[in-house]
Amino acid sequence: MALMTGEEYIESIRKMNMEVYLFGKRVDCPVDDPILRPSLNSVRMTYDLAQMPEYQDLMTVISPYTGQRVNRFTHIHQSAEDLMNKVKMQRLLGQKTAACFQRCVGMDAFNAVFSTTYETDQAHGTHYHENFKKFMTYVQDKDLTVDGAMTDPKGDRSKAPHAQEDPDLYLHVVEQRPDGIVVRGAKAHQTGILNSHEVIVMPTISLGPEDKEYAVSFAVPVDTKGIFMIIGRQSCDTRKREHTEIDVGNSEFGGVEALVVFDDVFVPNDRIFLNGESEFAGMMVERFAGYHRQSYGGCKVGVGDVLIGAAAVAAEYNGVDKASAVKDKIIEMTHLNETLYCCGIACSAEGYPTESGNYIIDLLLANVCKQNVTRYPYEIARLAEDIAGGLMVTAPSEADLRDEKLGPVIEKYLKGRADVSTENRLRILRLIENLTLGTAAVGYRTESLHGAGSPQAQRIMIARQSNLNHKKALAKAIAHIKED
Ligand code: SF4
Ligand code: FE
């Protein structure tokens, strides 16, 4: 089958029978819900851009497994160049949506599960890699969106999965059957699951032999019996129900997260990618996290581009764009943003093949990339707010602007430069508000901190990968130190 158009994608999601809850009620048609629809539009952009000749090389690739042109979001990386193109594609999508476009988690899960299943089979004589390849070619053929589900609720963080008072706080196998397994548990903060056709589930941490039943990976359609999701609230989300364009800041695009419950879900044998081989859980986690930490060197940079542009426009509208202090702030924002991009490109350029043949990023550099992402977007956001001024949080609503009596007053008193309409000034300030404090702040701020693992998780990996003994040996050689 050919690549799907954006419209075909929307209709394919509409046909699914997902169990979705928002504000205590089941959502009949998530595709048409005003709060949820912008997040679907963001994923749609991954389909729309793939149809455009100017983006074909970045957005699509010939699959070595099917021989067909597939969307890069379903691709298994074959080279360091593929890894770099992935980051470039993510930057482009961040620029086009100014939001989380969600489809990357599946791509990152694809590549982590591809190599881990290969190595698990080598060690155990299992057939997980074959299962995964069958699933992968199905996804490529149908051009599906896949969610990658890793984060378990985790309960008491000081206790291993099997030692939790409630055994379901990590997703686990509750029944082994001749034709498959039954799983129970939940995955938290699931980016884009609502807009996905399939979900790949992976373990959330390295596991010991006593946690065998938690060492499980598989893929199922998102509307499989027993799966339901509770949508996460976002700051300012109900503005999307007010039929306003200005007040939401970004009326077309958004992101979405959900708590996803797996209430005794059956997984057939050919969809299982790990089932009890606990020593391979850590490999899958580390590789997925590494790929997703690389991803942030692309997507957050693209959103950062929009925020920098918005700050520059706000400065122009206020008539301060020529002030050296403002120019310097824009330079600083650009410097920080491009530093993140450098990290994304660098960990990709240093990529290397795994035993299975697909390419993986340099894990040290990918973790450094994400560690910087836990900091720089906050500083970029601070500088954008600095340039925007207090009006970005004190401006009246669009309803007031449209009011017969209040509109002209707002027009008069909230004007910046005489040749710029007050409406345009408010539009750009609301976009900055959306990116720094509103719905998009989930993706641009807090997700920069905690997404793909919280800062401490990267510091552990940096310590593990930094080869300190080599550095000590270098110093001793230069200092001519000879130890007995
Ligand atoms: Fe993709 Fe970024 Fe969203 Fe992760 S946070 S799914 S990398 S856009
Ligand atoms: Fe993320």
Task: Give the per-residue SS3 of 413-459.
Answer: HCCCCCCCCHHHHHHHHHHHHHHHCCCCHHHHHHHHHHCCCCHHHHH
User: Are 235 and 435 contacting, i.e. CB atoms less than 8 angstroms apart?
Assistant: no
Amino acid at 23: F
Q: What is the pLDDT of residue 36?
A: 97
Ligand 1 binding pocket includes 105 (Cβ within 6 Å): yes
Q: Give the pLDDT mean for 391-398.
A: 97
Confirm whether 122 is domain-assigned. Answer: yes
Question: Do 348 and 242 belong together in one domain?
Answer: no
Same domain (yes/no): 330, 264: no
Mean pLDDT to the nearest integer, 35-46: 98
Beta-strand relationship, 20-22 and 227-231: parallel
Task: Answer yes or no: do 220 and 313 share one domain.
Answer: no
Q: Are residues 148 and 289 in the same domain?
A: no
Spacing, Cα 100 to ligand 2 middle (Å): 8
Which ligand 1 atom minimizes the distance to the CA of 452?
4
What's the confidence (pLDDT) of residue 484?
Answer: 81
Residues 266 and 291 in one domain: no
339-382 pLDDT per residue, tens: 999 999 999 999 999 999 999 999 999 999 999 999 999 999 99
- How far, in Å, from the CA of 100 to the mean position of ligand 1? 5
Nearest CA to ligand 1 atom 8: 100
In a shared domain, residues 42 and 63: yes
Residue nearest to atom 3 of ligand 1 (CA): 100
pLDDT surpassing 70 at residue 296: yes
Q: How many domains does the chain have?
A: 2
Active site residue 104: yes
- Which residues form the domain of 328? 284-473
Based on the domain organization, do 237 and 359 belong to the same domain? no
Using the mean position of ligand 2's atoms as its centre, give its distance from the Cα of residue 303 in Å: 13
pLDDT of 2: 85
Would residue 347 show up in a list of annotated catalytic residues for this protein? Answer: no
Among 277, 292, 315, which residue terminates a domain? 277
Residue 394 has a pLDDT of: 97
From 44, 90, 191, the mutation candidate for ligand 1 (largest count of ligand atoms within 8 A of CB) is 191
299 part of the active site: yes
- Spell out the residues 6+ positions from residue 94 whose beta carbon is closer than 8 angstroms to its own: 101, 298, 299, 300, 301, 302, 303, 304, 305, 306
Residue closest to 20 by CA, chosen among 45, 1, 44, 37: 37
Would residue 144 count as lying in a domain? yes
Identify residues whose C-beta is under 5 A from ligand 2, the ion.
Answer: 451
Residue 100 near ligand 1, beta carbon < 6 Å: yes
Do 252 and 354 lie in one domain? The reply is: no
- pLDDT of 79 reads 98
* Residue 101 domain flag: yes
**pLDDT tens track for 403-443:** 999 999 999 999 999 999 999 999 999 999 999 999 999 98
Between the CA of 455 and the centroid of ligand 2 the distance, in Å, is 14
Q: H or E element: which one contains 9? A: helix 6-14
Residue 468 banded pLDDT, cuts 50, 70, 90: very high
Same domain, 272 and 311: no
So what's the pLDDT on residue 108?
98
Please give the Cα distance from 371 to 454 (Å, whole number).
9
Q: Where are the beta strands (DSSP E) in 94-145?
A: none
Among candidate residues 229, 259, 277, the one where a domain is terminated? 277
Q: pTM (2 decimals)?
A: 0.97
Ligand nearest to the CA of 299: 1
Query: Is 381 a member of any domain?
Result: yes
Q: What is the CATH number of the domain that holds 67?
A: 2.40.110.10
Whole-number pLDDT of residue 40: 98
Let me know if 352 is a catalytic residue. no
Mean pLDDT of the chain: 97
pLDDT at 342: 98
Across 291-434, where does the E strand assignment appear?
A: 352-353, 359-360
Q: Assess whether 213 carries a catalytic annotation.
A: no
pLDDT of residue 98: 98
What is the pLDDT at residue 204?
97
Instruction: Give catalytic status of residue 334 as yes or no.
Output: no
Q: Please state, in angstroms and rounded to a whole number, the distance separating the CA atoms of residues 434 and 247.
A: 9
Please give the average per-residue pLDDT across 391-412, as a whole number. 97
What's the CATH number where 347 sits? 1.20.140.10
377 and 317 together in one domain = yes
Judgement on whether residues 136 and 28 belong to the same structural domain of the protein: yes
Among candidates 296, 229, 260, which has minimal Cα distance to 86? Answer: 296
Residue 50 lies in a domain: yes
- Return d(Cα 331, Cα 265) in angstroms, integer: 52
| 150 and 120 both lie in a single domain | yes
Query: Is any atom of ligand 1 closer than 6 Å to the C-beta of 46?
Result: no
Regarding the beta carbon of 218 and ligand 1, being less than 6 Å apart is answered no
The answer to the question of residue 1 being in a domain is no
pLDDT-derived band at 1, boundaries 50, 70, 90: low
Ligand 1 contacts CB of residue 108 (under 6 A): no
230, 259, 277: which is the final residue of a domain? 277
The answer as to whether 250 is a domain residue is yes
Asked if residue 479 is part of any domain, the answer here is no
Q: State residue 25 phi and psi, 5-degree precision.
A: -130, 150
